[in-house]
Amino acid sequence: MNEIVDLRSDTVTKPTPAMRRAMAEAEVGDDVYREDPTVNRLQDHAAEIFGREAALFVPSGTMGNQAAIKVHTRHGQEVIAEQRAHIYNYEMAMTAAFSGCLVRPIWAEDGILSWDLISREVRGRSDHRARTGLISLENTSNLAGGSVYEPEATDEICDRAHERGLPVHLDGARIFNAAAALGKSVAELTGKFDSVMFCLSKGLSAPVGSMLVGSKEFFEEARLIRKMLGGGMRQAGVLAAAGMLALEEGPRQLPIDHANARFLAQALAEIPGIAINPSKVVTNILFFDVSATGLAAGEVSARLATQGILANAVSGTSIRMVTHRDVNRAGCERAIQALRGAVGARQKAIVT
Ligand SMILES: *Cc1c(COP(=O)(O)O)cnc(C)c1O
């Protein structure tokens, strides 16, 4: 059997051989004592790339987002986010469980919020309604198909929010994908946010880790929350060494991933029964609808798996594919072939 083509997520990327070597050779110390030189170097480098004062290495994106939410809010407040936001759907209700805040979800076309949509839900002092404590944006928007915010839109949201004394956090798990799609730097896309989380462990291919970027003051607060959550790591330099290469070399891969996603989307659009709008595929994530095949998404996903193609059904009718370093163009071609077969098999079954 051919090699597995794993399109479930860009989190499945394995560390590169150069990362393995850097990990083996990393100079380390105890990071809870701030004595791991490799972690310190990674943090300084990330801060520099984002043009900010400080950056904190965290074990996961979820911990980064939730530490940031905790820093910015008080119990009993609301956090405004788009309805498909990762912080709302995929972080174990930690905004409620840990920060004691209610997420106020807003649905927006392609997952892209505007100040106009947000401002209707911002609450100040009231005898009845909880006060808004934070706005959290997601760029790229994962569950809305890897869509990208224009920097003018996020700048405006940050400016208007700040006028009202509201902080804005960015779940930038894939902010480097957004930067690649727009041909801009991550600093240009994130300069006005009060805090930014981004993942080293997705398309950038590090085995573990995310970063929280912001002011020195934010860094010190977030560091304490990280410790509360059990995220104070010791000789974490073995991980940071891979993270350093992810930061330096990872972004170069992303335009290739984006081209592969567009290639997949265009080919999928040609398959009878598959619904997808290729013009919406601008980064490395694509969703397609299989309703018109007469098959449940779970069944299509299971049939693909028998051919060594892994892609998750995300609802009864929809499947997600994510491109990354460990799937090349030939892998994409195999995925298309397998999907044609999976859908065609059903059509044969109807005939006989
Ligand atoms: C992956 C992801 C995260 C963080 O996920 P972890 O698995 O906790 O690292 C956060 N936000 C978005 C949008 C993501 O896709």
Rounded distance between C-alpha atoms, residue 286 and residue 261, angstroms: 7
Over residues 29-35, mean pLDDT: 98
pTM greater than 0.85 (yes/no): yes
Per-residue pLDDT at 38 exceeds 80? yes
pLDDT of residue 346: 47
Per-residue pLDDT at 25 exceeds 90? yes
Ligand 1 pocket test, candidate residues 9, 62, 202, most atoms within 8 A of CB: 62
CA angle 49, 250, 237 (to 5 degrees): 75
Interval 101-122: pLDDT, tens? 999 999 999 999 999 999 999 9
pLDDT of residue 345: 55
pLDDT band at residue 140 under the 50/70/90 scheme: very high
Atom of ligand 1 nearest to the CA of 63: 8
For residue 171, report the distance from its CA to the centre of ligand 1, in Å: 8
Residue whose CA is at the smallest distance from ligand 1 atom 14: 173
Over residues 8-27, mean pLDDT: 98
Name the fold adopted by 15-249: Aspartate Aminotransferase; domain 2 (3.40.640)
For residue 62, report the distance from its CA to the centre of ligand 1, in Å: 6
Atom of ligand 1 nearest to the CA of 142: 13
pLDDT of residue 265: 98
Per-residue pLDDT at 96 exceeds 80? yes
Ligand 1 pocket test, candidate residues 171, 205, 226, most atoms within 8 A of CB: 171
Residue whose CA is at the smallest distance from ligand 1 atom 2: 173
Pocket lined around ligand 1, Cβ cut-off 6 Å = 60-62, 65, 86, 138, 142, 171, 173, 199, 210
pLDDT of residue 2: 72
Interval 306-329: pLDDT, tens? 999 999 999 999 999 999 999 999
pLDDT of residue 1: 56
For residue 296, report the distance from its CA to the centre of ligand 1, in Å: 26
Among residues of the chain, what percentage have pLDDT more than 90? 97
pLDDT of residue 352: 47
Homologous superfamily of the 5-11+253-351 domain (CATH): Aspartate Aminotransferase, domain 1 (3.90.1150.10)
Residue whose CA is at the smallest distance from ligand 1 atom 6: 61
Over residues 69-77, mean pLDDT: 98
Could you tell me the residue ranges of all domains in the chain?
Answer: 5-11+253-351, 15-249
Per-residue pLDDT at 259 exceeds 90? yes
Per-residue pLDDT at 82 exceeds 50? yes
Interval 202-226: pLDDT, tens? 999 999 999 999 999 999 999 999 9
Ligand 1 pocket test, candidate residues 63, 66, 82, 142, most atoms within 8 A of CB: 142
Interval 157-177: pLDDT, tens? 999 999 999 999 999 999 999
Rounded distance between C-alpha atoms, residue 103 and residue 80, angstroms: 6
pLDDT of residue 316: 97
Distance (Å) of CA 319 to CA 208, 274, 314, 316: 26, 10, 6, 9
Is residue 231 within 8 Å of 257, Cβ to Cβ? Answer: no
Cα atoms in the 13 Å half-sphere on the side-chain side of 203? 28
pLDDT band at residue 344 under the 50/70/90 scheme: confident
pLDDT of residue 71: 98
80: CB partners within 8 A, 6+ apart: 103, 104, 106, 118, 121, 122, 132, 134, 135, 136
Mean pLDDT of the chain: 96
pLDDT of residue 220: 98
